[in-house]
Amino acid sequence: MKKVALFDFDETLVRENSLSYLFKFLLGNKPLFLFLLPILLDYRLYIGQVKAVIKQRLYKRALNGQNPQYIYQAGRDTASKLSKIDQVVERMICLDRQGVEVWIITASPQSFIQGIVDELQWPVKRVIGTLLESHNGKLNGLIGEECQLQEKVRRFNTVVAKEALRCNILESYGNLPVDIPMLNLAHTKFYVENARLSLFQGDK
């Protein structure tokens, strides 16, 4: 049976939300809020869907027409700009040395985080993240279901079922409360808050 440890990425392995670096890489140094002015007319802003509307707008502006491989390169370029949370990274490396496979499950685009991981040469066996839609070999600015909350669990289970894997999930690492569904997959659970690692023993 495969021994596995699950890690969130943003604000778990690194201090930042890496997605902002992807948008800046693709859109340049122009303040991101300038790309958001048209959404002031979007009714969803006024029914509690602010984050979703902002992300969809920036994804559309940044990704439409891009070569999918360019997103991976954006990750490699971003890697040096991120601040690692040493305690969590050291734990990740320790688990790998013990023969435990490290999987990252993230809401950020899968190919972008894969580029970061490869550039940092982290011992990560698999990255599962939000998938970007394409048409005729170019990204169309749309994304699949964002890999967060229960979707992280669904995507993990889909991979396991598709590849007929038998996994013993020893540990999981993430943020509260958004990663609780993923954390609950593991025997031992940890959460990261203000770059500090703590044992998670129940709902918070």
Domains and CATH numbers, the chain: 2-28+75-199 (3.40.50.1000)
pTM of structure: 0.88
Q: If you ran DSSP here, which 8-state letter would residue 81 be given?
A: G
> Mean per-residue pLDDT for 16-41?
69
Q: Which tokens is 40 given?
A: 């002031």
Closest CA relative to residue 76, chosen from 107, 113, 42, 104: 113
Residue 32 and residue 24 in contact, taking contact as beta carbons nearer than 8 Å: yes
Strands 196-199, 188-193: pairing kind: antiparallel
pLDDT the model gives residue 203: 58
Strands 138-143 and 167-174: unpaired
H/E element, 26? helix 19-27
The pLDDT mean for the chain works out to: 88
| Angle, CA of 35, 66 and 154, to the nearest 5° | 90
Tell me if residue 72 falls in helix, strand or coil. Answer: helix
Banded pLDDT at 35 (limits 50, 70, 90): very low
* pLDDT score for 40: 44
Looking at residue 48, its pLDDT comes to 44
